[in-house]
Chains A and B, each alone.
Chain A
Amino acid sequence: MDQQTDIRFLLNGQEIIARDAPATRTLLDFLRIEQRLTGTKEGCAEGDCGACTVLVGRLQDGALRYETVNACIRFLASLNGCHVVTVEHLTGPEGRLHPVQQAMVDHHGSQCGFCTPGFVMSLYALWMQTPQPTVTEVETAIQGNLCRCTGYEPIVKAALAVNSYGSPVHDHLTRERDTITARLAALQPAGRVVTGPDDDRAILPADVDDLAQVLAETPQATIVAGATDVGLWVTKLMRPISPVVFVGHLEELKRIDLTDTALTLGAGVTYSEAESAIATAFPHLNDYWARIAGWQVRNMGTIGGNIANGSPIGDTPPVLIALGATLTLRNAAGQRTLPLEAFFIDYGKQDRAKGEFVESLSIPRPQPGQINAAYKISKRRDEDISSVAAGISVTRTGDIITDARVAFGGMSATPRRARAAEAALIGQPWTKAAFDAAANALSQDFTPLSDWRASADYRLLVAGNLLRRFFLEQDGQTSVRLDVA
């Protein structure tokens, strides 16, 4: 079979064939420099401000799904078979403003206007998905959009009013859904796609078997799913990452399997895709999940990537370790499964051999008596990297703590369990004293660092206090947490 050597996608109404697209070419540069579509702005080039927000529509199980993404860290090569929608596509042919745009104008939602196209796109996606949102839903939809002028009040008011300007039923993306679906279906490649120059090569495997094969052939390749971390290696650090193997399009890695005993997530499942299964199986993760990055990043980033990059401050590993998750790795020779905590060996070092990739993650559902909590501490509530993240799973049998798994991020070179704290809990009666003892034991478990996110003293103090919070919450005390109060 011939390999496809270009990247084909729809941009607004037009079909694009990007020949020899370098692996690290960003969508934003493509839009602004090559297409002169300058409505999409660069504010930070690291996926943290949202000025470059565009929609990407893609087929999933045959259905067309539009999501906001940060064009600044989205690689062009990852868009094969997708529909990119920019702010220029919103205005009607006769120049009439889109309901989102009209609401923003009428509510004075722009001042300097530089962030505005990005907000418009986020609000557009929200309106399509939730035409009549609550304030909280609006705030969640624009977690990934910074505005320095307005104080957000008029933007939120505009978002709440959009539906009174028009219904998504009449939106052109809704009306053209079948056409776009058919056009995208026609763009899906028959096999592997390889494109870009030798020193900036992009490879899109045909399927997971092919991925294993590609990695066997080029074990030095950089695996990219959502690019929410690797994107920054390129845009900020200018690090060479060729060849790049893109995996975000592989449907087999997007499987979500919820049974009575476990939730299994393919490594390519994004935070957004996992959201409803997580909420069903692990309701304690609900609030926590919505505090992972911003909406655009949750639409791109994968849980597999969050684990595979081995960061000590990733949001998901501590809570998954506490739940007893296991990880399945694969290469051309086969699969192996290991407890998640065993994957993290040291700072920057994971138990992943060359040619191996993370295939899936399995999280056992809570047993009777198992009490779970997830806490994130950060300087800013939303869209911030945690200074401390905690996953706490404690099994209470009668008045005795019979099991405890306590894991922290931000406390050491890897996300890991607090064995001394766990030991201080197991076998003890369910009392404040037991949790105080566990909190005090954390100083045996961890010697955290001081940096710009938090000092070592604060990290240790707050980590202990999170154990105390856990006890107080379970002890029936109300109002021990801002989010719940």
Chain B
Amino acid sequence: MKDLSPLTGAVHHDRIHDSAIKHVTGRADYTDDIAEPAGTLHAYLGVATVTHGTIRTMNLDRVRQASGVVDVLTARDVPGVNDLSPTGRNDEPIFPDTVEYHGQPIFAVIAHSRDAARRAAELADVSYDILPHATDALSAQAAGLPQVTDPLKLERGDVAAGQATAPHRIKARMTVGGQDHMYLEGHIAFAIPGEDDDVIVHCSTQHPSEAQHMVAHALGVPLNAVTVNVRRMGGGFGGKESQMNLFAAVAAIAAKRLHRPVKIRPDRDQDMTATGKRHDFVIDYDVAFDDDGRIHAVDGHFAARCGYSSDLSGPVTDRALFHADNAYFYPHVRLTSRPQKTNTVSNTAFRGFGGPQGVIAAERMIEEVAYALGKDPLEVRRTNFYGTEGRDLTPYHQQVTDNIIGRVVDELADSARYQARRAEILQHNAQGGILRRGIALTPVKFGISFTATHYNQAGALVHVYNDGSIHLNHGGTEMGQGLNTKIAQVLADAFQVDFDRIKITKTTTEKVPNTSATAASSGSDLNGMAALDAADQIKARLVSFAAETWGVAADEVRFLPNAVQIGAEVVPFDTLIRRAYMARVHLSAAGFYKTPDIHWDRAAGKGRPFFYYAYGAACSEVTIDTLTGEYRVDRTDILHDVGRSLNPVLDRGQVEGAFLQGMGWLTTEELWWDDQGRLRTHAPSTYKIPLASDRPRIFNVALAEWSENRERTIKRSKAVGEPPFMLGISVFEALSMAVASVADYRVCPRLDAPATPERVLIAVERLKAG
């Protein structure tokens, strides 16, 4: 999009990431790059070497005596509450008495260097009373392990009646793997003690208020003693919404105890073993449908590997159910979750927050129906899209009022030439051959808002200094998504000033209190509105000052690019600010926003949890090698809805990145536990996220430029962080089609995720064997 505005960095226009130049020069500071004060110490976690067992004895003498060691922390040394559970369930000790997963931290060592701490952490002599373990949801359920939190049931209509009227019914099971965040910057916290109870913690976190809360909880001090700062993260993806708590708490406890700055940074192996991941699910679905492919009833059960504690598993498994309809109307539906406790690290938030696992279940059901009837899956998709009158109610009784999926899919099917290419692929596969191809066009509809209604609030703090420069602070955090850039654009638009006039500052609990996580794709929706509110307050004061001083009506004061028109006069922005300051006008404001109109009754399974929906669709074509299971993505076309984009080029970057991350989840990213309960894929050498050469050979990405949010969101834009993650499902379903070709599409392949080359080949062999 060409920038036609006289302002630089105007809203709705492309603008580079505010830190782009710092990124490419290496001058962007991450937490580990902050200069360390003299005397800084380094902490490292000592971890359990069993999967489940009570600690009988723990002798840390050798740890204490190791070279460079200053101190050791155990559960007894936690001055406040030995708990990190983000939902207050008191089920997630900093250091436990009973080990509940392999690699669980059981103590910390503090030393003069990180290397010394890391080496000393290996020297503990610990004995355990071993207990039986179960690492996956099904075996854990069979072993009688409880659920980590209350399950959810969503129900509408009469499933039995719906099944009775449908001529066809398919029951099947799908296993969907988890996913490690693999942010390039691992967890880190750096605590600097202050006077009295005070402590400042620099931490790579999406949720500074949560880290503040946990540090205060662990130290036994009020929240006002703890300041948490984060300028930027090297990626978050949900992995730093609650998982930083451990590191922030340990650094803060050590810093206060030793009166020295303390930094803790796990290595990649420890980061991956000791922090949670995307939940893997076992999904049992029962879909009843008619000859036209129209779904009559859905009964779905979603069991999730939650790990040893609840963490965010309640809302994650809830969101899986909220999205088990994807874009489809189920006349009769019952969805149940099982947040299953397992002897694994506690799983957590990850882009989509359970939603992708719900969406893939919906897409698998569509595929089942299509194969059973010999139809093009896209036809079945269209048949079941939400519609109007009587076909617009979700399983949680929210009416879908902003549905644009039909148009998105139609436009994409046209631009990607879906029908023609599918015909050509069918013809190619009909010739037999080793290499088979597949194509799939899958939609996504994603609900925007935190389902915990109280999280849907945000604050911002804006100062206009008397030289006309502007200081922007808000409660959101920057993890690469360009949130700060977008909010600065909103502010530039509000004041009609150039982007460069606005200083973006680190997120800190000192400036904006009680913030929500930068999560649920809500960062710009919430914080953008809060910043706008702050700007509007300052502007109102400026307008009133100008009107009074120049003797004009308030509506004769207009903000022009870098200037203000006051009656017939045009005053430079700087001049107005200077004069307002001299006249003692308050040039600072705290803004606030809360999302209107949303409510949710979990017990009843009814409400309007989502303010609006974001939509999108992807069409992917793949080729598989039926001798090896290897594959390649030949082409992907995407059309995605971000409403009226705040910054099209950044949104496009989110769409592309989310797609590839979603594809990785369903293809090469595999978490593998051995029979002793050890995670064996815990570093990039064993856990394979996509590379440049894995991205589609042809990749066409477009935003639905005609779309505008029907709700009054910030500049009518829509959230973009999570929804396009699910576009990766198109690759999975295309792989499924290529596999199905070996049995002439008579059978919907039993393909679990991730569809590694091995799973693809095994699925091919299974079909060949009939």
Contact = CB atoms under 8 A, between A and B. Distances in A.
A151 B657 CA distance: 4
A115 B186 CA distance: 12
A238 interface: yes
Contacts of B33: 38
Interface string B614-634: 000000000101011111100
B35 A468 contact: no
Contact of B435 (A40, A383, A480): A480
Nearest to A116: B23
B656 A151 contact: yes
Contacts of A238: 118-119, 122
Contact of A153 (B22, B25, B689, B695): B695
B761 A97 contact: no
B185 A114 contact: yes
B122 A148 contact: no
Interface string A124-161: 00000000000000111011011111111111100000
Contacts of B181: 148
B693 A381 contact: yes
A232 B686 CA distance: 13
A101 interface: yes
Nearest to A106: B16
B24 A114 contact: no
Given A43-B268, A44-B683, A86 B26 contact: yes
B650 to A, nearest CB: 7
B762 A458 contact: yes
Given A113-B22, A114-B185, A151-B657, A45 B268 contact: yes
A104 B653 CA distance: 13
A112 B185 contact: yes
A143 B24 contact: no
A38 B35 CA distance: 10
Interface residues of B, number: 86
A380 B758 CA distance: 11
A237 to B, nearest CB: 10
A112 B695 contact: no
B757 A379 contact: yes
Contacts of A87: 25-26
A235 B233 CA distance: 24
A90 interface: yes
Contact of A110 (B23, B658, B690, B756): B23
Given A97-B24, A377-B757, A112 B630 contact: no
A481 B23 CA distance: 39
Contacts of A46: 268, 683-685
Interface string B735-770: 000000000000000000000111001100100000
Contact of B692 (A91, A101, A138, A477): A138
Contacts of B452: none
B695 A482 contact: no
Interface in A372-411: 377-385, 387
Given A108-B16, A468-B627, A152 B691 contact: yes
Interface in A14-37: 29, 32, 36-37
Interface string A334-358: 0000000000000000000000000
B237 interface: yes
A117 B185 CA distance: 13
B184 A147 contact: yes
A451 B758 CA distance: 12
A403 B447 CA distance: 64
Contacts, number: 257
Contacts of B268: 43-46
A465 interface: yes
Given A105-B21, A380-B694, A382-B691, A115 B26 contact: no
B657 A146 contact: no
B481 interface: yes
Contacts of B184: 41, 43, 49, 51, 112, 114-115, 146-148
Contacts of A147: 184, 692
Nearest to B765: A461
A87 B653 CA distance: 24
A333 interface: no
A314 B674 CA distance: 23
B604 interface: no
B237 A148 contact: yes
B762 A49 contact: no
B167 interface: no
B500 to A, nearest CB: 15
B26 A88 contact: yes
Interface residues of B, dominant DSSP? loop
State the main secondary structure of chain A at its contact with B: loop
A87 B25 CA distance: 6
B21 A458 contact: no
A377 B688 contact: no
Interface in B637-691: 649-650, 653, 656-661, 668, 670, 672, 674, 680-681, 683-686, 688-691
Nearest to B35: A36
B128 interface: no
Interface residues of A, number: 89
Interface in B1-55: 16-17, 19-30, 32-33, 35
A175 interface: no
Nearest to A238: B119
A247 to B, nearest CB: 24
A145 B184 CA distance: 10
Contacts of A385: 685
Nearest to B663: A151
A39 B25 contact: yes
Contacts of A380: 668, 688, 690-691, 694
Contacts of B28: 113
Contact of A452 (B235, B623, B659, B686): B686
Contact of A120 (B24, B482, B627, B630): B24
B269 interface: yes
Contacts of B435: 479-482, 485
A112 B239 CA distance: 14
Interface in B683-738: 683-686, 688-695, 699, 701
B480 A91 contact: no
A403 B623 CA distance: 34
A472 interface: yes
A462 B629 contact: yes
A465 B628 contact: yes
A469 interface: yes
B24 A116 contact: yes
Contacts of B758: 379, 387, 454-455, 458
Nearest to A152: B692
Contacts of A153: 656, 695, 699, 701
Interface string A428-454: 000000000000000000000001111
A111 interface: yes
A154 B699 CA distance: 11
A315 interface: no
Contact of A114 (B17, B30, B688, B694): B30
A341 to B, nearest CB: 25
A236 interface: yes
Contacts of B182: 146, 148
26 contacts: A37-B26, A38-B29, A41-B185, A41-B234, A48-B684, A105-B24, A108-B649, A111-B17, A112-B480, A113-B19, A114-B183, A114-B480, A117-B24, A139-B693, A148-B689, A150-B657, A151-B661, A379-B757, A381-B693, A452-B674, A468-B627, A469-B627, A479-B433, A479-B434, A481-B435, A482-B435
Interface of B: 16-17, 19-30, 32-33, 35, 115, 118-119, 122, 181-186, 232-237, 267-269, 433-435, 479-482, 623, 625, 627-632, 649-650, 653, 656-661, 668, 670, 672, 674, 680-681, 683-686, 688-695, 699, 701, 756-758, 761-762, 765
Given A38-B33, A151-B661, 12 more contacts: A38-B32, A110-B23, A112-B185, A112-B233, A117-B25, A146-B184, A147-B184, A150-B657, A382-B694, A462-B628, A480-B433, A485-B623
